A = this chain, B = another copy of it.
Amino acid sequence: MSSTRTPHVPAAPGSASIRDVAERAGVSVGTVSNVLNRPDIVRAATVERVHAAIRELGFVRNDAARQLRAGRSTTIGLVVLDVRNPFFTDVARGAEDEAAQDGLSVVMANSDESPEREAAHVDYFETQRVLGLLMSPIGDMGERLERLRAAGTPAVLVDRTAGTRALSSVAVDDVEGGRLAARHLLGLGRRRLAFVGGPLGLEQMRDRLAGAREEADAIPDARVEAVETPGLGFADGRRAALELLARPAGERPDAIFAGNDLVAIGVLQALMGEGSLRVPEDVAIVGYDDIDFASAAVVPLSSVRQPRERIGQTAVRILREEAADPSIEPRQVVFKPELVVRASTVGRG
């Protein structure tokens, strides 16, 4: 062996390994690794020499090897329903900030409300042996995620309460959000409410609707009609609003509670544009999420705000704990939403 020691080629430009660094600095690979991971146990002069070699060779740690050895990566996978939705980007931001404190990274994948894409992303993250998964699932992932958890990859549901006690989740009380919105509208004297959002297959949507109905049921002549949309985009809101406009004026709702702000803005524009209705005089509108757009809409939008960044932060914190100790009990955290009142319900001043 020692007679045929490999010359270990000069190494392509940027692909120096720890071994090249060791050779250059005149130390062993173990020492280089120590400089990288526990510099405190290495003599200062040696640390300096190794750093010099690293700089000269442009050495960059190979994370694949590191992971292989460690068994786990230091990346957290985040699968969101829709990257375009500011709600999720804010959650992502909160998660990233929290993760960065521990030197963890967050990478984002977009399922775009497609169960197939979602499954593909989870597959990918599984092969990557990510530290854990943060997800707002579209399909029924419960069983799969429990299996993953058992296999050492914890998952935390985001913006969804776990259907099972076996998984952690960080969500916002959507029933309460629905109550807040409806209570506000009812308090303004509106009686014919419509909930515009969907698909109602989404738990969040069902809960918001249920909360609203709960409030309306407490008032004799009040009711909440459900206008289901296939998605939660801008265009879905428009379409739903056009449907409502097609009705005789007397049968239209006098208040609309939208499944999210994008839908609300779509509704708003269609009602004011095509419908020439006045908001809030003819119809009051409450959105959900309180995205930036909400306050900047033609008529600033009243909306139910969720602590988005805190959701991301909390989810990462739980994930970290579960990754460190798999036997820990799953936790379900539920935040309270908050109503932000603007001109779309109370007019000016």
Question: Chain A: residues with CB nearer than 8 A to chain B?
Answer: 12-15, 58, 60-65, 67-68, 71, 73, 83-84, 86, 89, 92-93, 105, 107-110, 112, 124, 126-129, 147-148, 150-153, 233-235, 238, 266, 269, 272-273, 292-293, 296-299
| B128/A63 in contact, CB under 8 A | yes
Looking at the assembled complex, report how far the CB atom of A52 sits from the nearest CB atom of chain B, in whole angstroms: 18
Measured between alpha carbons, how far is A334 from B60 in the docked complex, in Å? 33
Which of B92, B269, B296 is close to A234, meaning CB atoms less than 8 Å apart? Answer: B296
Given that A107-B108, A109-B108, A298-B269 are known contacts, is A58 also in contact with B151, CB under 8 Å in the complex? yes
Closest to A100 in B: B120
Measured between alpha carbons, how far is A273 from B153 in the docked complex, in Å? 51
Q: Which residues of B contact A266 (CB under 8 A)?
A: 296
Which of B65, B68, B112, B234 is close to A62, meaning CB atoms less than 8 Å apart? Answer: B68
Given that A68-B68, A150-B14, A298-B273 are known contacts, is A129 also in contact with B62, CB under 8 Å in the complex? yes
Number of copies: 2
| B89/A83 in contact, CB under 8 A | yes
Q: Which residues of B contact A238 (CB under 8 A)?
A: 296
Looking at the assembled complex, report how far the CB atom of A130 sits from the nearest CB atom of chain B, in whole angstroms: 10
- Residue picked from A62, A73, A147, most chain B C-beta under 10 Å: A62
Q: Which residues of B contact A299 (CB under 8 A)?
A: 273
Looking at the assembled complex, report how far the CB atom of A303 sits from the nearest CB atom of chain B, in whole angstroms: 15
Provide 16 A-B residue pairs closer than 8 Å at the C-beta atoms, listed in order of the A residue: A14-B148, A14-B150, A15-B71, A62-B68, A63-B127, A83-B83, A83-B108, A89-B110, A105-B124, A233-B292, A234-B293, A234-B296, A235-B292, A238-B296, A269-B298, A273-B298
Closest to A117 in B: B96
| B129/A64 in contact, CB under 8 A | yes
Q: Which residues of B contact A269 (CB under 8 A)?
A: 296-298
Measured between alpha carbons, how far is A310 from B9 in the docked complex, in Å? 41
Given contact pairs A12-B152, A14-B151, A108-B110, enumerate 12 new A-B contacts (beta carbons under 8 Å): A12-B151, A13-B150, A13-B151, A15-B71, A15-B151, A60-B126, A63-B64, A65-B68, A83-B89, A84-B89, A107-B109, A234-B296
Measured between alpha carbons, how far is A266 from B305 in the docked complex, in Å? 22
Measured between alpha carbons, how far is A38 from B268 in the docked complex, in Å? 56
| A14/B152 in contact, CB under 8 A | yes
| B296/A127 in contact, CB under 8 A | no
| A92/B110 in contact, CB under 8 A | yes
| A128/B64 in contact, CB under 8 A | yes
Measured between alpha carbons, how far is A265 from B184 in the docked complex, in Å? 29
Measured between alpha carbons, how far is A68 from B66 in the docked complex, in Å? 9
The 3 A-B pairs at the shortest CB distance, nearest first, are namely A14-B151, A64-B67, A63-B127
| B61/A127 in contact, CB under 8 A | yes
Given that A152-B15, A272-B298 are known contacts, is A64 also in contact with B73, CB under 8 Å in the complex? yes
